[in-house]
Every structure is written in structure tokens, then in C-alpha cells.
Amino acid sequence: MSDGVLYKYNATTESKSQAKKFNASAESDGVVQHANATTWFDNYPMEQLYDQTFDVVWTQGYNGSGVKLDAATWGDHPKSGDTIDFKGVWGFDRAAMQAFVANGTVQWVKIQVKLIDPAHAGDPDVWFAPHTYTSKPASWSEANVNTTYQVKETYLQTGTDIVRTITFPAEAWLNGQLCGFRADGAAEPSDSATFAGKTTSNGITAFNSRITLQVLK
């Protein structure tokens, strides 16, 4: 005997069930089980929501021509906007994310980043969009960015650095091709922004940016 399958039916089709349990005030995901003489087994696939977080693998900034910013001058900190039309990039382990999602259905994608409070006047607007680079590219091309699912964030200056989590729709998973996100200024030069990269350098302390995926499976 092994894990079983529990399905629900209407007049014409079958589909996977979803187990729920309740207390006096809330519901949460549950699991139905069956047993033989010695062992309990999960009825599977009972669908549940699972969240998992993945640490950033690499970060980088590029200028408007796609040239990688020099580490001695800029470090690996993502930048966006300004007169140079910076592009800032976060990269993650796509294979690890694919293994987690497996045959499940992605519900949403989130990324957490840290803005370094800008010295210039103004509140930068930043477009975040998913990209498909599996490793840090020698040069940047917007052809690997999907702007269909981009999200604009406005950073109101507070005099301190800002850690923010940005939520994207399920489609930003790009059918399993998502590798990370790109930041771009909504308007140059006013929307100049710098984010903390993976490595401490150039007066900026490293920040462990993370992606979180929620999956129904």
C-alpha cells in the first residue's frame, strides 16, 4: 500500500480534491490519510498551498547600452534610471525553483529588495520585470525581459533605506523560465535608484534579496 489518490466528480469530469480543516475562527490546509495494518499514508494529491523562499544567487548593474558596470567603481549593486539609464538585475537558481514547483500551479511570485536611500531630490519610480538569464550575463539585453508582467513601485524618500516586498501575478513565473527580476527607472534622470547587491562594497552593505513562490499542488 502507498499514498492514494482522492478525486471529486461532477457529471462529466474528475478533478483533484482539496482538504481543509477548521477551528472556531479559521480554516487551513488539511491532509486526509488511509492506513494498512502498520502504516499511515497520505491521500495524494490532496491539493494544498505551499510557500518557499529562494536566496539571491547574483546581482549586477548595467548601463543603458547593456555594458556591465565596473565592480571597482559600482560593486554588484543593482541600479536603475538616471541619465545613464541603468538596469539593475537580481538572479536566482531557476532549477531549484522549478524543482519546488514541479507539477504544481504557481499562485504568485514575490521578490524582496533593499533600496539605498537616494541623496538626490525626488521619489524614484522603478519598473520591476521578470527576466530569463540563468547566470550573470557579460552584457545586458532587454530581449530577455518580459515587460508584460512588470510592476511599478514608487519609493517615497524617508531618510533611511527601504526594504520592500514586490508581488507579481502567477504569469511572472513565465511557465518555468523565470530566473529573476530587472529594475528600470520609469523616467530618466529623475528616477535614479540604487539597491543593495549580494556583495558588500562601495559603502553599501550586502542584502540577501529573496524570491518567494506560492504553489498549489
Question: What does the alpha-carbon distance between residue 12 and residue 10 come to, in Å, rounded to a whole number?
Answer: 6
* Domain boundaries of the chain, sorted by first residue: 7-46, 50-216
Who wins on pLDDT, 39 or 87? 87
How far is 17 from 114, CA to CA, in rounded Å? 40
According to CATH, what is the number of the domain 50-216? 2.60.120
**What was the pLDDT predicted at 5?**
59
Question: Which of 64-78, 91-105, 112-126, 147-161 has the least mean pLDDT?
Answer: 112-126
- In DSSP terms, which residues pair with 128 in a beta bridge? 151, 183
